[in-house]
Amino acid sequence: MMLRPQDTSTRERKNLDGLWRFALDGDRRGRDAGWFARRLDTDRELAVPASYNDLTAEAEVHDHVGPVWYQREVWVPAGWAGRRVVLHLESATHRATVWVGDAEVVSHEGGYTPFEADVTAHVTPGQPVRISVEVDNTLTFRSIPPGEVEQTAHGPRQRYWHDFFNYAGLHRSVWLYATDPAHLTDVTVTTGFAGTDGHVDYRVGWESGPADGAPDGTGGADPDVAVVLRDADGAEVATGRGATGRLTVPDVHLWAPGDGYLYDLELQLVRDGTVLDSYHQSVGVRTVRVDGARFLINEQPFYFTGFGKHEDLAVLGKGHSPAHLVHDVALLEWIGANSFRTSHYPYSEDVLDYADRRGLVLIDETAAVGLNLGMFGRRDQPTFSPDTIDDQTREVHAQAIRELVARDRNHPCVVLWSIANEPESRTAEAEAYFRPLFDVAREADPTRPVGFVNVGLAPHGQCRVSQFCDVIMLNRYYGWYSYTGDLAAAEDAWEAELRDWAGEGKPIIVTEYGADTYPGLHATTPTPWTEEYQVAYLDMNHRVFDRIAEVVGEQVWNFADFATTPGIIRVGGNKKGVFTRDRQPKAAAHTLRARWRGRVAG
């Protein structure tokens, strides 16, 4: 486990964002040639954080398949002498190996969760050090998400079965940070309330480094853990001791949708009266549970309004941008959205921190998208088989679930885990693949509901995976991919299927519904691709939802237009956004604002 880098009374971090030397390595010779052991032989520099694909004007960079190398020299602060020094990468898509100087220090599989290495033995405080990162964007049947590389006469071509561009690189921040050799390693908080009293249960992990005068760590007393809970004004409301415990919060201010109230839990590792390590964890006191067909937050029924989103920006690709985060959330609040799904991968933890503070509700999803070969014309091969997605893939998938939960379990904004988007779910092989993954998710976090997002190719009565879900999540495009342009017939068919799902007695969230819309295209009658049709299409869906009590949420696909692979049905990417890629509203944005803000007011 790991704690996110932060500055505290005992910790210090150094941000390594900026321009890094960059080199393509399509023929995979960098490791054998020892690129990590010397200055990269290149004059090209690219920005971190950002996807590398759109930062140049070169097709070979945009369409590159295989490893790339990032490298820079950094100074290790002189004041870190005697400290434990850690290199932390918030993400590297889709896998990475890291060297500090000539030493390989860590490898990681999975493009959207953090990893780190203790590099104390490889750095000298007060001296510079070379950091090299090999990042590989290749997708195979053994990766999450999956893909396949085809060797062509013109070089390798990456094929994948998800409908968004395979951006890659160092999308999020890179850090060096320092702690005492004795340090906190992990914290888990769970919360609840009874009447006006809240409670915060905590569990803390730590490692006791060498004691003074005992470099082998055999001497001195074991440290103790002390905790202090403070309210938003900094007033102390509860204290405790020990690595596990419960804190009682009188007159608790609950975290709730639209009210992102947070307490601060300070964890201290103490030896002989000296605080060796201090870490701060924000805490939102709230409960989440499913009751029949109701989704309850703080024992109150909750109705999701919002979107599926993407981390997708011009130039930056999937690179995290604080400015765009603030603007996107401002648009969500303007339109009346109370939630979104992190489709189709874990987002930057900065996004979750901000959602915590703004009272936004999140469905948190793994990067398991594209586990459905038939959706993209590969009907000659089963999705789940020894030659395609197999038990080895499932182990990678299980680790992705564990890492997502480990990173995000303390965020009050996260109310539901989604372990996959639109997988093949009609076969016995799919059932066997997913059954243990739901167990993995519930073992990692027994406090939240778990689900997956069902695709229209597995309608009610044919899906063999929905039986494991606490919440039914449906992606449906009646009126777009089926019954195109015939909204009356689409309405009948959609309502009929939705009523079948309602018979399951579980909450239903429609996690995707939408119509491609070219901004500025108009017609006197609603015609597909026009702004008028997008409005009429949404109105039809909303009539259906409002007739079925088991529907507890609607999340339009998509918040904004986004980049995809080239294709004859994509003109400059996916145009289902309610906002354009540069965040200008289409007519549908005003329609949704009237509905969602009216729902809040009502």
Q: Left if phi > 0, otherwise alpha if psi is -120 to 50, otherwise beta: which for 92?
A: beta
Residue type, 33: A
Q: Please list, in sequence order, all residues whose beta carbon lies within 8 angstroms of the beta carbon of residue 441, skipping any fewer than 6 positions away.
A: 401, 405, 417, 419, 450
Nearest to 513, CA basis, from 542, 485, 492 = 542
Q: Which helix (H) or strand (E) holds 569?
A: none
Strand 115-118 relative to strand 103-109, pairing:
unpaired
Q: Are 495 and 544 in contact (CB under 8 A)?
A: yes
Which contacts qualify for 546-551: CB closer than 8 Å, 24 or more apart?
Answer: 547/495, 548/495, 548/498, 548/499, 548/502, 548/508, 549/293, 549/502, 550/293, 550/501, 550/502, 550/505, 550/506, 550/507, 550/508, 551/498, 551/502, 551/508, 551/509, 551/510
What gap in Å lies between CA 66 and CA 185, rounded to an integer? 34
Rounded CA separation 29/114 (Å): 26
Catalytic residue among 403, 422, 532, 554: 422
CA end-to-end distance (rounded Å), the chain = 44
Contact between residue 394 and residue 366 where contact means Cβ atoms under 8 Å apart = no
Question: For 16, how many CA atoms within 13 A lie in the half-sphere containing its CB?
Answer: 29
CA distances from 329 to 49, 263, 281, 599 (A): 20, 22, 23, 19
Tokens 């730590």 correspond to 206
| Identified catalytic residue from 90, 424, 491, 512 | 512
Which burial class, exposed, middle or buried, applies to 454 when counting CB atoms under 10 A from its CB (0-12, 13-18, 19+)? Answer: buried
Give the three-class secondary structure for 183.
strand
Give one DSSP letter per residue of 294-338, joined into a string: EEEETTEE--EEEEE----BTTTBT---HHHHHHHHHHHHHHT--
422 labelled catalytic: yes
CA 438 → CA 73, 256, 426, 446, distances in Å?
43, 27, 17, 11
Structure tokens given for 537? 């299409």
Beta carbons of 329 and 357 less than 8 angstroms apart: no
Cα dihedral angle (24, 26, 30, 31), rounded to 10 degrees?
A: 130
Can you read off the two tokens belonging to residue 483? 């019954």
Is residue 82 packed enough to be buried (19+ CB in 10 Å), middle (13-18) or exposed (0-12)? exposed
> Residue 17: CB partners within 8 Å, gap ≥ 6?
48, 49, 173, 174
Residues marked as catalytic: 422, 512
